Amino acid sequence: MAKRTKAKRNSKSKKITLKMTQNCVELTLDGKRRLDLSFKGITAVPKCIQKLFHMDEVDLSRNMIRKIPDFIAQFIKMTVLDLHSNYLEELPVAISYLQNLKVLNLCNNRLTSLTSKLGLLNKLQTLNLGLNQLEALPASIGALEELRHIGLSDNRFTRLPGCLFKLKKLESIKMDRNPIIAEKIPTEKPVSISESFYLVKECLNRCQAERKELREE
């Protein structure tokens, strides 16, 4: 029994070498270079992956990573970063240097807050923050002009973050299983959180249009 326990511990602390990471590089159907280090049982991002800074996509999901190192800033070509199902409690400011990032998956971690520098990811289209411990979003999220999809399910939000209404290209938002305080919106039938979001946004757009018409008159 002791031998099995020891073997199990050794497998968790297995060192990831450069050769191993190189063997985890694959080419996607659309010709993107993808580094897949998911399910490796690692507690930290291997330093050796700095040699693979030219990757287009990096998958570090389903591990036990607690911290994202500052050298992540070297991956300036990266468009997809998958970090879901880890033990992350915070994000480094260095993540703001990933100016080509389009998809960022941080679902199922331990985040209680986010760096305001996330608002600098001006090409970001999809942001998944579900299954964390967030109560609010930084106002800078409202600067993500290309954002189309955001996942906020299973957090601690009591209201819809106001910064979301600044996102003109936003197509979908998931707010399921949050302690949302229902907003009083005139309607003939019960409205889900996602529907409420669109009703409020539609109302704001209509008000803005009416004000514009009044100014023109």
Sheet holding 149-151, edge to edge: 25-27, 33-36, 57-59, 80-82, 103-105, 126-128, 149-151, 172-174
Could you list the pLDDT tens digit for every one of the 217 residues in the chain? 444 444 444 445 468 999 999 999 999 999 999 999 999 999 999 999 999 999 999 999 999 999 999 999 999 999 999 999 999 999 999 999 999 999 999 999 999 999 999 999 999 999 999 999 999 999 999 999 999 999 999 999 999 999 999 999 999 999 999 998 755 433 333 323 454 444 444 444 554 454 455 455 5
Q: Give the integer Cα–Cα distance in Å for 153 and 127.
A: 12
pTM of the model as a whole = 0.80
